[in-house]
Amino acid sequence: MIDSYFQDVVRVFERYSDPSIASHQSAYLKNKFVFYGIMTDKRREIQKPFLVKSRIPELNEIDSVIRLLWEQQYRELHYFAQELLWKYKRHYDLSYLDLFEFMIENQSWWDTVDFLAQKPVGHLLYLFPDERSKLCTDWIESENLWLQRSTIIFQLKYKSATDTELLARNINALCSTKEFFLNKAIGWALREYSKTNPKWVAQFIDSHDLSPLSIKEGSKYI
């Protein structure tokens, strides 16, 4: 099932490849990835048959399928893999963390990491709040940029359920960085939460030594 499913997906994606589009897509991501050259709307259209309930892999196959897709060079297969993973969200438990971490640490760039952090990771940690603190500590101490970014943005959709103590702790652990993707994430998280609690965000920005980028992003709606 795994091999046939994988090969069927690849054959369809190859059929719709367009090298002229692929070159522009690759350039947009700093030429870090190879693309088939399938625009997002078209990709979502052609992948639909592979995401219906009767076609998706069995639950005990999903880890292997996702890893196989993730190990390929084509970026569209990574996008498909994470959207396939999201189809199983009602089955998420703590055993999925290894897979999430693998995906964040490999083939890493903002376009996949932001999806993974907000959706699979965010959803899992919403279900298991007691696991948040330790996981965030581990990911911050890993010194992996993308795991660290994930600790800042996994609560983006939590709104009033945001754990502000944890958000503050994670930001404080990372705010001395000069890394663009971390400072941008800090500002993004603060900006998003300011839609729910602008007073908390304003006080946090005023009382912490944040980068100009984080302040600019975080203050947008205050």
pLDDT at site 1: 79
Contact call for residues 118 and 152 (beta carbons, < 8 A)? no
pLDDT at site 203: 98
Q: How far apart are CA 128 and CA 135, in angstroms?
A: 11
Alpha-carbon torsion (196, 91, 71, 1), positive or negative: negative
Residue type at 37 in one-letter notation: G
> What kind of fold does domain 131-222 have according to CATH?
Leucine-rich Repeat Variant (1.25.10)
Q: How far apart are CA 135 and CA 191, in angstroms?
A: 23
Residues carrying CATH 1.25.10.90, the chain:
1-91, 131-222
pLDDT at site 54: 93
Structure tokens, 96: 């999925």
Q: How far apart are CA 100 and CA 96, in angstroms?
A: 6
pLDDT at site 36: 98
pLDDT string in tens for the chain (222-residue length): 799 999 999 999 999 999 999 999 999 999 999 999 999 999 999 999 999 999 999 999 999 999 999 999 999 999 999 999 999 999 999 999 999 999 999 999 999 999 999 999 999 999 999 999 999 999 999 999 999 999 999 999 999 999 999 999 999 999 999 999 999 999 999 999 999 999 999 999 999 999 999 999 999 999
pTM listed for this prediction = 0.96
Helix (H) or strand (E) run with residue 104 in it: helix 97-105
pLDDT at site 29: 97
pLDDT at site 20: 96
CATH among 3.30.70.20, 3.40.1260.10, 1.25.10.90, 3.40.950.10 for 1-91: 1.25.10.90
Cα–Cα distances (Å) from 110 to 18, 114, 137, 195, in that order, read: 23, 6, 21, 23
